[in-house]
Structure 1
Amino acid sequence: MAERWFLALWPDARTRDALVCQTAGALPEAARPTHPADLHLTLVFLGELDAGRVACVEAVAEAVSAPAFELEIDRLGHFTRSRVLWCGPSCTPEVAQTLIGSLQSGLEGCGIAPERRSFRPHLTLARKVSRYQGHALPEVVIWPVRELVLAFGVSGSRPRYRAHRRWRLSVAS
């Protein structure tokens, strides 16, 4: 298994459709848009994993307890160096930060070192964006986050990403 793996949040169909609708006007003509089914927010990039490490990552994700929460997707941004146009929240809820910390801590036992860069939550909207004109989202998209997803990429395919396994986040009764 040489695919590139990651743990992510995946929007439900309603949220995905709202994101596509609210961000459509921001995509420059020359941009390479992300397939709508590929929209996700990476929590932890894992890289290439063998079957043993996939099993270890699954055990870590299974053991993590986190409540469901909401993300307010309210801004667009541009990573100049990687030429990526993205959308994301202005403010990351504490529960999301705690979830990432718990995952990274558990993944150290799998031999996966925590990311050194600070977490910048975003969903990639398009690649090959040289310049960003500063469009804003017409309306905030409220994303009810209800699950954690272990996924991997398949090169040469669209959509590119495949969900391998999902875990429900706890919902208060």
Structure 2
Amino acid sequence: MVERLFFALWPPVSQRDALARASQGLSVVPARWTQTADLHLTLVFVGPVEAHLFGCVAAAGDDVAVAPFDLRLAGIRHWEHNGLWVAEPADAPSGLLNLVSQLQQNLLACGLEPEKRPYRPHITLARKAPAISPMPLHLHWPVTNFVLATSRPRSGSAYQVLRRWTLDV
């Protein structure tokens, strides 16, 4: 069986609800909204993985050594090139970049190369969305863990968290 896997930061319910409230004013505009339960910040998109590689991919999170860090989401913007509305941090904290780097490095042992595009942290709020003016957002998120998740067929939630790791040095 092939699964589409990704490592992500999964906000607690209170943060996901705050993101949903912050974008509520946009809900009158036609777009394909991300369900509140599915809001997350992708760290590394692994992609389709054959069953025999699952253990290796999951182990990539086992020896990550990153201290908890604070993420401050500062705005909601439109990404014109792919029609997304996203919540973005003003800048990426070093803990976030270190976490992404360690996961990418660990995935090399599975024969999986890092994505070539520069990492751009964001939470996708909606797809197929028209242009909007940037909106301020003031959301503080103390990040204490990360997850390995998979996409699943649309029946309720689009994603399923498979494993969770606590950040610790």
Could you give the per-residue CA deviations for residues 49-97 of structure 1, whole angstroms, max 9, x where no partner exists? 1223211112110111111111101111222232111111010001111
Give the aligned residue type for 1:74: A
Alignment of 1:36-115 (within 5 A): 36-115=36-115
Q: Normalising to structure 1: TM-score of the pair?
A: 0.92
Matched, 1:8 2:8: yes
Matched, 1:126 2:126: yes
Question: Which aligned segments of 4 or more residues in structure 1 are displaced greater than 4 angstroms?
Answer: none
Answer whether contact 1:86 1:125 (CA < 8 A) is retained. yes
Bigger shift: residues 47-56 or 115-124: 47-56
Alpha-carbon distance in structure 2 between the residues aligned to 1:40 and 1:167? 15
The one-letter code sitting in structure 1 at the alignment partner of 2:138 is V
**Where does the alignment leave 5 or more consecutive residues of structure 1 unmatched?**
none
Distance 1:32 1:7 in 2: 23
CA offset at residue 108 of structure 1?
0.7
- The alignment's C-alpha RMSD in Å is 1.4
Q: Is the 8 A contact 2:62 2:165 kept in 1?
A: yes
The 8 Å contact of residues 89 and 122 in structure 1, kept in 2 or not, is answered as yes
Aligned residue for 1:140, secondary structure, equals strand
AA matched with 2:132: Q
State the match for 1:154 in structure 2. 152
* Count of paired positions: 169
Percentage identity across paired residues of the two chains: 39
Q: Which residue of 2 aligns with 1:140?
A: 138
Higher strand share: 2
Partner Cα distance (1:150, 1:166) in 2: 6
AA aligned to 2:166 is: R
1:170 aligns with 2:144: no
